[in-house]
């Protein structure tokens, strides 16, 4: 009788451990970022984002691709306070996560939903108060949230190579479409790579 009780307790313990393992495995498999939706109050910016989304999807269509093939459209918010920069880039999701967001320490702000696709919003402004002061006049959060399962911290970001941590000399220069906003209107777009442009560069004038 005592032996039967111990066997039952043993099997119950095994079942509990299996359940806990299963729950943790499921959580790890679905640990993407939950982002809040933002809408643009500035009609010029809203029009620009929708126009770039059209260009993005046309480009995918010409190459027989789609969002599901691993591409993502990103809008990075930077500059402050009177020279805001809006930089669009289309990347492979792996490159966006591994090389661009986490290696470059970008703040993941949220997302914007156009009629055609979703745009991930990033920023190089670390301080949340500064970010709000710079951009609250032209965009606001809606309270709507969505999980982006592909946005995960890469497990191999700090993988050991033969000389220690890998790829410290990684060079990654995606092609941007950049607009400048001076508080009244947007400049004509320029195309550039991921380099530091001075705000008085002739391409913005």
Tokens of 75: 């809008």
> How much is the mean pLDDT over the chain?
78
Comparing 14 with 198, the larger pLDDT belongs to 14
Decide if pLDDT at 193 tops 70.
yes
DSSP per residue, 26-85: HHHHT--EEEEEEEE--HHHHHHHHHHHHHHHHHHHHTT--GGGTEEEEEEEE--SSSEE
Comparing 48 with 67, the larger pLDDT belongs to 48
Beta pairing, strands 84-92 & 71-78: antiparallel
Radius of gyration (C-alpha) of the chain in whole angstroms: 22
The whole-number average pLDDT for the span 54-82 is 78
Comparing 51 with 200, the larger pLDDT belongs to 51
Contact 109, 131 (CB under 8 A): yes
At residue 199, the pLDDT reads 42
- Considering the chain, what percentage of its residues have pLDDT values greater than 70? 69
Decide if pLDDT at 197 tops 60.
no
- Considering the chain, what percentage of its residues have pLDDT values greater than 90? 35
Comparing 131 with 66, the larger pLDDT belongs to 131
Comparing 157 with 3, the larger pLDDT belongs to 157
Q: What is the pTM of this model?
A: 0.75
Helix, strand, or coil (residue 134): helix
Buried b (16+ CB within 10 A) or exposed e, 96-123: bbbbbbbbeebbebbbbebeebbbbbbb
Lowest mean pLDDT among 1-5, 65-69, 74-78, 113-117: 1-5
Neighbours of 143 (CB within 10 A): 7
87-120 pLDDT, tens per residue?
Answer: 999 888 888 988 889 888 899 999 999 988 899 9
């Amino acid at each position: 009788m005592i032996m039967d009780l111990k066997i039952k307790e043993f099997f119950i313990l095994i079942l509990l451990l299996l359940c806990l393992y299963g729950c943790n495995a499921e959580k790890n498999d679905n640990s993407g970022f939950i982002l809040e939706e933002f809408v643009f109050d500035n009609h010029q910016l809203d029009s620009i984002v929708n126009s770039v989304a059209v260009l993005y999807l046309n480009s995918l269509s010409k190459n027989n691709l789609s969002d599901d093939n691993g591409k993502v459209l990103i809008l990075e918010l930077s500059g402050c306070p009177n020279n805001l920069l809006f930089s669009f880039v289309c990347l492979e999701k792996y490159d966006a996560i591994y090389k661009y967001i986490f290696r470059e320490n970008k703040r993941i702000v949220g997302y914007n939903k156009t009629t055609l696709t979703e745009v991930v919003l990033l920023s190089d402004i670390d301080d949340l108060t500064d970010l709000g002061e710079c951009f609250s006049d032209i965009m606001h959060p809606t309270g709507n949230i969505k999980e982006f399962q592909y946005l995960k911290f890469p497990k191999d970001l700090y993988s050991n190579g033969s000389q220690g941590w890998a790829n410290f000399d990684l060079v990654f220069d995606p092609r941007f479409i950049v607009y400048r906003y001076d508080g009244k209107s947007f400049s004509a777009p320029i195309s550039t790579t991921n380099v530091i442009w001075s705000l008085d560069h002739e391409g913005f004038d």
